[in-house]
Structure 1
């Protein structure tokens, strides 16, 4: 049994919604949830989850309900996210899995760190050609045809290091969106963005940009 499967089972045993959880082979566990159907979850230790990895898991466990990237630093590529959406399989972090258990449909669950922010973008009528490149990176076109590439950071107070790390890992962006509604980017983060050639914005500021203001 791999380390991440062992830790997942230990943590789930303390979850009040969980009646039982058992290893069923490979990276898969079966979770019995009070008052809800059982859940077959894949617990992956991958640093990067791409479409090919998802396909391998799906071939081995075609009835999987949820794909969990157990590492906190796990990155999800857009192709993997689209595959899971097409197959109606939930995806996200260990926290996402835990919070989705006991809900009506775990198969519609998405990464809790980015769920609300990305839904705002999906519901915007000011954009077109929305493409999710990674869990935290998306590109789009405004109503006037202007393209934008946006990266999301979720820290309470994003620092210059958070901005530079995003840029170095995922390439240039036009906007870094600070998605934590309770925090504010630090002055050094905004300055780092200027040095790199991007704006560091919160939702109200980004919303104005999307509307062409």
Structure 2
């Protein structure tokens, strides 16, 4: 049994007495919760989920309801997300899996850290199209024709290092969007954003900023 499967079983069985998780085979676990559909989830222990990774997991385990990236640092590529969604397979971290089990929607769940912001982008009336390059990077085309690259930062109080880290890993963005509703970007994060040429925004200012472009 791989380490990520072992820790997944320990966490799921410890967190809720109404949940029973057991190892099936390979990286797959079965989760049974009172009054909810049974869930088959594959647990991935790497740092990046590409389309090739997602395809291989589904090939080996065609009946899974959810693909879980166990590591907190795990990055999901947009092509992998699209592949899984087309097949009604949920995706995200262990927290997402735990919530999806209790909500009974594992096949349609998506990474809970980014889910609200991802939905909100599509609800802005000024957005014509939003292409997901990564779990946290969107290429957005406004109805006026302008294209923007938006990076989602979930940290409580993003710092200059968070802004630079986003650029270093995913390339330039036009907007660094602090999606955590409870904190605010540090002053040095805003300054660094200006130096790099991107706006550092909270959710409250996003729509107004897009309308101003």
TM bucket normalised to smaller: over 0.9
Specify the alignment match of 1:5 in structure 2: 5
- The alpha carbon displacement at 1:105 in A equals 1.7
The 8 Å contact of residues 139 and 147 in structure 2, kept in 1 or not, is answered as yes
Specify the alignment match of 2:129 in structure 1: 129
The 8 Å contact of residues 12 and 18 in structure 1, kept in 2 or not, is answered as no
Tell me the number of residue pairs that the alignment of Structure 1 and Structure 2 aligns.
Answer: 213
The verdict on how the C-alpha distance between 1:145 and 1:28 changes in structure 2, with shifts beyond 3 A counting, is same
- The answer to whether the aligner puts 1:55 opposite 2:46 as a matched pair is no
**Counterparts of 1:54-93 in structure 2 under 5 Å?**
54-93=54-93
The 8 Å contact of residues 178 and 200 in structure 1, kept in 2 or not, is answered as yes
Normalising by the residue count of structure 2, what TM-score does the alignment of the two structures yield? 0.96
Q: Structure 2: which 5+ runs fail to align?
A: none
The 8 Å contact of residues 37 and 104 in structure 2, kept in 1 or not, is answered as no
* Structure 2 SS opposite 1:101: helix
* Structure 2 SS opposite 1:177: strand
Q: Distance in 1 between matches of 2:205 and 2:102?
A: 36
- The alpha carbon displacement at 1:23 in A equals 1.1
More moved, 121-130 vs 17-26 = 17-26
* Structure 2 SS opposite 1:37: coil
The 8 Å contact of residues 17 and 34 in structure 1, kept in 2 or not, is answered as no
Q: Describe the superposition over 1:127-157 as per-residue Cα deviations: whole angstroms up to 9, x where unpaired.
A: 1121000000001111110110000000110
* Structure 2 SS opposite 1:125: coil
- The alpha carbon displacement at 1:17 in A equals 5.7
Normalising by the residue count of structure 1, what TM-score does the alignment of the two structures yield? 0.96
Q: Distance in 2 between matches of 1:77 and 1:128?
A: 22
The verdict on how the C-alpha distance between 1:54 and 1:121 changes in structure 2, with shifts beyond 3 A counting, is same
Specify the alignment match of 2:146 in structure 1: 146
Q: Distance in 1 between matches of 2:18 and 2:171?
A: 41
- The alpha carbon displacement at 1:19 in A equals 3.9
Specify the alignment match of 1:32 in structure 2: 32
Specify the alignment match of 1:117 in structure 2: 117
Q: Distance in 2 between matches of 1:5 and 1:118?
A: 28
Specify the alignment match of 2:95 in structure 1: 95
Specify the alignment match of 1:201 in structure 2: 201
